[in-house]
Amino acid sequence: MGINLYDGGGMPLFMGHHGSMQAQRDRGPAAPEGVARHPRRVSSFRSRRSALTDSQSEVWDRLWPRLGRPALNPAGATEPLDADSWFGRRAPLVLEIGCGTGTSTVAMAQAEPDIDVIAAEVYRRGLAQLLSAVDRENVPNIRLIRGDGIDVLESLLGTGVLTGVRVFFPDPWPKSRHHKRRLLQPATLALIADRLRPGGVLHVATDHPGYADQIAQVGDDESALRRAAPGEPLPISTDRPVTKYETKARAAGSVVREFIWVRPSG
């Protein structure tokens, strides 16, 4: 985990395959027209211990084959995701990148049973906690992907398939030398905008002031997105539950900033 690298020198590394870098260079497909290729990728996540408890392992073994999948298969090959057959229905699709333990994922999916939610996370124990909640609370409209959300966007999802993308409290990488690790960079915004359908929504929240400023800038600079107007009707809810992470951040005096962009129709 944590070794997906982009090439800053303009190499065609649009795909995030876990094969060798050379293979990536050779096999990366053309970026969709109008979508910037990702610059060399450094991972936006840290490696974390991911041992599961016995009960999490039991749930994982029972449910992961049906409700979960890796972002990339072991050979590095990818096929577009068939969300309709995975969920067993056709419904508006939302991707949450970096769901952590899935507190928001579960609450928001339960609040909107007519929307299907894919939760992407690299942290296996977080996914296991989410899977346990899905099992315990019998939530039918969540599927889980283990891996880099950028790989999910690049490799599994086509242009215009998403009604929403959620990124709540992305790792802030506060030191300047780590800013390149931040998830929300111009190339990511372009990729997200491409995967959103017209009218689709990007919803971001962060408690880090510097990252918030960067997010505001890159989101506003993305020409395929515009800020949602106050009170504008949106195709997905933007009501978030307050997670443990957010409670701690607020207790430490942080201000949470929230951003909503829309892919304009037509």
Ligand X SMILES: C[S@@+](CC[C@H](N)C(=O)[O-])C[C@H]1O[C@@H](n2cnc3c(N)ncnc32)[C@H](O)[C@@H]1O
Binding of ligand X by 154 (CB under 6 A): no
Q: Please give the C-alpha separations between residue 254 and each of 21, 57, 71, 108, in angstroms, as whole numbers.
A: 39, 35, 33, 23
Interface with ligand X, residue 122, by CB under 6 A: yes
Cβ of residue 102: shortest distance to ligand X, in angstroms?
A: 8
Question: For the residues of 141-179, what is the DSSP string, one character each?
Answer: TEEEEES-HHHIIIII--TT-EEEEEEES-----SGGGG
Contact flags string 176-205 toward ligand X, x per CB under 6 A: -------x----------------------
Verify binding: residue 169, ligand X, rule CB under 6 A. yes
Strand 68-70 relative to strand 142-146, pairing = parallel
User: Which is catalytic among the residues 61, 171, 207, 239?
Assistant: 171
Other C-beta atoms lying within 10 Å of the C-beta of residue 241: 14
Residue showing the smallest CB distance to ligand X in the complex? 98
* DSSP H stretches of helix in the chain: 21-27, 54-67, 83-87, 103-111, 124-137, 149-151, 186-195, 209-221, 244-251
Between residues 103 and 141, which has the closer beta carbon with respect to ligand X? 103
Q: How far is the CB of 181 from ligand X (least distance, A)?
A: 9
CB 249 within 8 A of CB 207: yes
Question: Is 207 in the active site?
Answer: no
How many residues in the chain?
A: 266
Contacts of 242 (CB under 8 A, 6+ apart): 250
User: Applying CB under 6 A, which of residues 14, 168, 173, 261 lies at the interface with ligand X?
Assistant: 168
**Site pattern 80..109 for ligand X (x: CB under 6 A):** -----------------xxxx---x-----
Least gap, CB of 108 to ligand X (angstroms): 11
CB of 19 to ligand X, least distance (A): 18
Q: Which residues belong to the active site?
A: 171
Question: Which residue ranges make up the site for ligand X (CB under 6 A)?
Answer: 44-45, 97-100, 104, 120-123, 126, 148-150, 168-171, 183, 243, 245
